[in-house]
Structures are given as C-alpha cells and as structure tokens.
Amino acid sequence: MAAFYKEIIGLKVITDEDDKIELGVDGKVLLELVEVKRGKAPKQAKTGLYHTAFLLPSRQELGSFLHHLLASNYPIDGAGDHIYSEALYFRDPDGNGIEVYADRPRNEWERDELGNLPMATNEVDGDGILMAGAELEWNGAPRDTTIGHIHLQVSNLEETRQFYQTILGFKVTTEIPSALFFAAGDYHHHIGTNVWAGRDLLELEELETGLAYFTIQSEELGRLENQLMEKEIAFQKGSQNVLTLEDPNGITIKIVSNTKS
C-alpha cells in the first residue's frame, strides 16, 4: 500500500512505524495507513469510503499525472468532467476508491439561481488534459496537493443531511435523490455522500479494512464542541483539543483546529 501511494500517487513518507505509515507532501500528512492484523476486506458493501480525492493545483499538473499513470500501466476505472472539475478514478491495492482531479477556475463554475452546482458527469477531454501536461515532467505529487474532498458511502441520506448540515454546519451544494454534497464556503464540495451501493448498509466490522477515520479542520472548534453538547452528540476530546465522534453511518471523524495545518 505504501509503495502504491509513493509510486503511483507520488506522496512521500513522513513517518514510518511498525503498524502505521504517514504519507503526504512538503511535510504535511495527507494520508495515514494503519495495518489491521488479520484484516480482511468486507464481503459486501459497507458504510465508509467511496473515494479519497486528491486535488492537484492545475490542469497542467493533472495532465502530467495522467502521462505518469498511463506510463505505469496502472488500471483506471474511469474519468469524469463534472463541469467544475476534471477527474480520474481508480483504486488502490486494497480496493479503496481514489479520485485525482483538478478544478476549473471558479469563474467558470455553472451555478443555479440559488448558487448551487449541477450534478453532471460528462466525457473527459483526455487528449486535452494530456496536451496540457505534455511539457511538465512528473516528479511526484506537487507541493500544493491537498485532499480536496472525501466521498462517503452512507446508509441513510436524511440522517446524513441532518448531521453534516444541522450539526456540523456544512452547506448542501448539490442534491439528487441518491446523493448529497456538502461544502464549507463556496467550494463545490468537501464531503460527498451517496447510497449508490444500497440503503441501510451495515457498518465496517472491527477487522475489516477500509476507512478508519477522516479529519475535518475547523476555525470554530469551541462552537462545534458546544453544539455537540447541546445536541447530545457523543464525542471524545483528546489531546490538542481533537474532537472524535461518529456520524449517523458509524463513520469516525476527527475535528481539529485548522491552525495546525
């Protein structure tokens, strides 16, 4: 797994322990791999990760990455032009979904009269992306690479909406009957959720591999803590004021101050 994220995604190892490896760019951790002793992949769809989305800083960088991906002969699941972004999709060796994408300039994003974004997956201009990156040599993930968003497989959309919108304060930016997309500020989405694998999915079991947790950075940790207490949402407060809790789908979230980026 670590070799994949180094060689294909282009991350660098930041810490390497017996059962945990942290990888990222420019000293910033983007991904943590934790070995599950006697771990096993789930035999059926469970709540958790749909994909982790690595955001590259430009279309040129996406083109350079696509040249690298094709040269590696690593299998690609698909690609999509979502109007506000262009994306490539594939899976890591454990079967976890991955998106690598680049945003279009924000003044090109199409919004409705309420400011929401349409749900669209159009054919990608692969030749155009390759041409954009033709002169840019791939030397690993660029230093400005981030986790642009995380996309989750959930069991109940309405409970998910109530949690992320009402409790955590995210805005719904795109909504269709089978999926909800949430964002902070005016981004297209920081969290995607869907029931495409079915509704009322079971949670991951202890020894099943998949998403252990994801992290949200917040400027309002104190307000969120008060909100959780008022709504009687169970959470733990750890060292450095990290709040750990579960969403309605049993997915673990760690909320940290974004001053620690």
DSSP of 42-73: -SS-BSEEEEEEEEES-HHHHHHHHHHHHHHT
Q: What is the pLDDT of residue 6?
A: 98
Domains in the chain with CATH codes:
2-260 (3.10.180.10)
Model confidence at 259, pLDDT cuts 50, 70, 90, reads low
Q: What is the pLDDT of residues 19-40, one digit of tens each?
A: 999 999 999 999 999 999 988 9
Q: What is the pLDDT of residues 201-219, one digit of tens each?
A: 999 999 999 999 999 999 8
Model confidence at 261, pLDDT cuts 50, 70, 90, reads very low
Q: What is the pLDDT of residue 115?
A: 78
Residue showing tokens 């282009």: 10
Q: What is the pLDDT of residues 105-161, one digit of tens each?
A: 999 898 888 778 888 899 999 999 999 999 999 999 999 999 999 999 999 999 999
Model confidence at 43, pLDDT cuts 50, 70, 90, reads very high
Structural tokens at position 66? 């696509």
Alpha helices in the chain, H assignment, sequence order: 2-7, 59-72, 126-132, 157-161, 221-230
Cβ count near 81 (within 10 Å): 17
Q: How far apart are CA 238 and CA 39, in angstroms?
A: 27
Predicted model pTM: 0.95
Structural tokens at position 64? 């350079």
Q: What is the pLDDT of residue 144?
A: 97
Strand order in the sheet with 243-246: 214-218, 252-257, 243-246, 235-237
Instruction: Report the first-to-last Cα separation within the chain, whole angstroms.
Output: 25
Model confidence at 260, pLDDT cuts 50, 70, 90, reads very low
